[in-house]
Amino acid sequence: MIKMICSDLDGTLIPYGAPSVLGEEVFALIRALSARGVVFCPASGRQYTSLRKLFAPVAEHCAFLCENGATLFYKEKLLAKTPMPRELAERIARDFWQNSDGRGEVMLSGENMAYLMSRGRGMADRIDFIGNRHTFIDDPAQVPEDIVKVSMYVREGIDPFVERFVPKWKAANAAVAGPLWIDTTLANKGLGVQGLCKAFDLSPDEVMAFGDNYNDVAMLDAVGTPYIVDAAAPALRARYANHCARVEDILQCVLDNLG
């Protein structure tokens, strides 16, 4: 029986290019699932403040897998945090900044604050748009707390930099996180799901997950029922047997099966 459903947001529950909002259909499904003992969990690279705001009408029914699994929240409480070694995080941030041909902007994530190294090329506007708490810094050493994630944003698209940075920082789980981002963190969404299973005393077979990108693979591989959305890359669609056009349709199927 499914007892928890984890879903990526951008490109999965929210199509790329669509407004960063959710409709009453999603909220009604989350409420109905909760009434039947199923916890819904947004699973995203976004921070807790952003996710909590996006799901405000149903937040009391949700667990939150944030920063690609580096922080987990439930009922306004931090369940777990996975910081990066400080020297590694600063080295990655400087590499992104110095070796991205003047195009890359860098975000270092704390527990619930984003620290932006901005070139004025759109990253700050994007962070405002998704609702992250943030401030500006000039150097990674200025971050006054544990760093849980380091990301690079490129307004024109991340593709020219994937081969430059993803293999280099494989030990930090470097992964494409949508068309404009590369993320690095010691955690991943799969470890986040494992942490949630421990916190809620669930087995992986009791968890369903939805994703669309390579940073979702660890999460999809960690659960008993993984779904890939139809808009995902062909290699990812080939990897998973369960496909869907809309997450909402499968949530309704789960409800129907629960009776």
Report d(CA 155, CA 176) in Å as an integer.
14
Both 132 and 205 in one domain: the answer is: no
Name residue, tokens 């306004």.
Answer: 76
Residues with Cβ within 8 Å of 13's Cβ and at least 6 positions away in sequence, in order, are 7, 22, 26, 42, 210, 247
Both 175 and 128 in one domain: the answer is: yes
Taking residues 131-142, report their average pLDDT: 96
Domain of 24, CATH number, reads: 3.40.50.1000
Both 251 and 177 in one domain: the answer is: no
Both 73 and 192 in one domain: the answer is: yes
Confidence at residue 51, expressed as pLDDT on a 0 to 100 scale: 95
- Segment 28-53, tens digit of pLDDT: 999 999 999 999 999 998 999 999 99
Confidence at residue 125, expressed as pLDDT on a 0 to 100 scale: 95
Residues with Cβ within 8 Å of 201's Cβ and at least 6 positions away in sequence, in order, are none
Percentage of the chain exceeding pLDDT 70: 100
Both 206 and 176 in one domain: the answer is: no
Domain of 100, CATH number, reads: 3.30.1240.10
Q: What are phi and psi of 90, to 5 degrees?
A: -70, -35
- Segment 239-256, tens digit of pLDDT: 999 999 999 999 999 999
DSSP class of residue 202 equals: -
The chain-wide mean pLDDT, for the chain, equals 95
Both 92 and 179 in one domain: the answer is: yes
Both 78 and 192 in one domain: the answer is: yes
Name residue, tokens 């942490």.
Answer: 195
Q: Whole-angstrom distance between the N-terminal and C-terminal Cα of the chain?
A: 12
Both 124 and 73 in one domain: the answer is: no
Domain count, the chain: 2
Among 163, 184, 205, identify where a domain stops: 184
Q: How far is CA 16 from CA 131, 177, 178, 231, in A?
A: 16, 12, 9, 10
Among 164, 184, 204, identify where a domain stops: 184
Taking residues 209-228, report their average pLDDT: 96
Confidence at residue 124, expressed as pLDDT on a 0 to 100 scale: 97
- Each residue of 99-120: b (16+ CB within 10 Å) or e? ebeebbbbbbbbbbbbbbbbbe
Whether the model pTM is above 0.75: yes
Confidence at residue 215, expressed as pLDDT on a 0 to 100 scale: 86
Fill in the amino acid letter for 89: A
Both 138 and 158 in one domain: the answer is: yes
Confidence at residue 72, expressed as pLDDT on a 0 to 100 scale: 98
Among 167, 184, 201, identify where a domain stops: 184
Locate 24 and state its tokens. Answer: 């009453």
Model confidence band, residue 130 (pLDDT cutoffs 50, 70, 90): confident
Report d(CA 117, CA 119) in Å as an integer.
7
The answer to whether 49 and 71 are in contact (CB under 8 A) is no
Name residue, tokens 């494992």.
Answer: 194
Both 101 and 69 in one domain: the answer is: no
Both 126 and 199 in one domain: the answer is: no
- Segment 147-190, tens digit of pLDDT: 999 999 999 999 999 999 999 999 998 988 889 999 999 999 99
DSSP calls for 137-154:
-SSGGG--S---EEEEE-
Model confidence band, residue 1 (pLDDT cutoffs 50, 70, 90): very high
Range of 163's domain? 86-184
Report d(CA 34, CA 57) in Å as an integer.
13
